[in-house]
Amino acid sequence: MTRSTRILAMTLLLVVGSNASAFGVIAGDCDSLRAQAQLLERHPEVGTACESIVAVEGRRYLLMSAELREVQPEQLVLRFRGATEDTVFGPGADQPIARDAGPALPADTAVGSPLRIFVPEDRVLEVFGESSTIGRPPVPVAVQPAESSDARISNYTCCPRRRPWYPIIDVLPQTATPLPLIGLLGLGLLSVAAGLARRRLRNG
């Protein structure tokens, strides 16, 4: 392998690595979570959603996967990978994770888009709804579109608001057809017409 080829390969690896996190420095993988059997027993979705552990200004965060469910000016509704319930994030924190980030995702971000969520490692239980944490200040979190080329980061807060106050209905595919109903209606009308014809014959 020539020197120029090695340099090109190393450059590509660096670019891929920087795009993978796009925020912070990778500080470890999620294997450390597996040692916390109690955490994963109560919240297996934590292990499912966790991609890696990153360090930002000396603090560790879980980089987690989620799917966007709804964007509103004052809240963000998402679902962590492996979770069965939606989670609501509120407006930006008083002490945000990303200093120069935007306050919220753009309103035109497509529902269903994959997201990266940065959650403080020492407060992950609060994000997943532990009742013992009620009364503590909101958890600062950062959100990044997973497919964003500009690595845009937005600041939010989480919890104790766990679920949206209104239902979000999953749209099911429209596979049914009205033809059977139309056929039954036609059959009923034919029966009515036959009955009327018999009555006319009897009276005539």
Q: For residue 199, is it within any domain?
A: no
Q: For residue 133, is it within any domain?
A: yes
pLDDT at 134: 55
Q: For residue 83, is it within any domain?
A: yes
The larger pLDDT score, comparing residue 170 to residue 179, is at: 179
Q: For residue 192, is it within any domain?
A: no
pLDDT higher than 90, residue 162: no
pLDDT at 106: 84
pLDDT higher than 80, residue 171: no
Alpha-carbon Rg for the chain, nearest whole angstrom, is 27
Distances (CA, A) of 32 to 40, 46, 50, 88, 183: 11, 12, 11, 26, 62
Q: For residue 15, is it within any domain?
A: no
Q: For residue 17, is it within any domain?
A: no
- As for how many domains the chain has, the answer is 1
Where in the sequence is the domain holding 33, given as residue range(s)?
Answer: 22-158
Of all residues in the chain, the percent with pLDDT exceeding 90 is: 20
pTM above 0.75, yes or no: no
Q: For residue 7, is it within any domain?
A: no
Q: For residue 129, is it within any domain?
A: yes
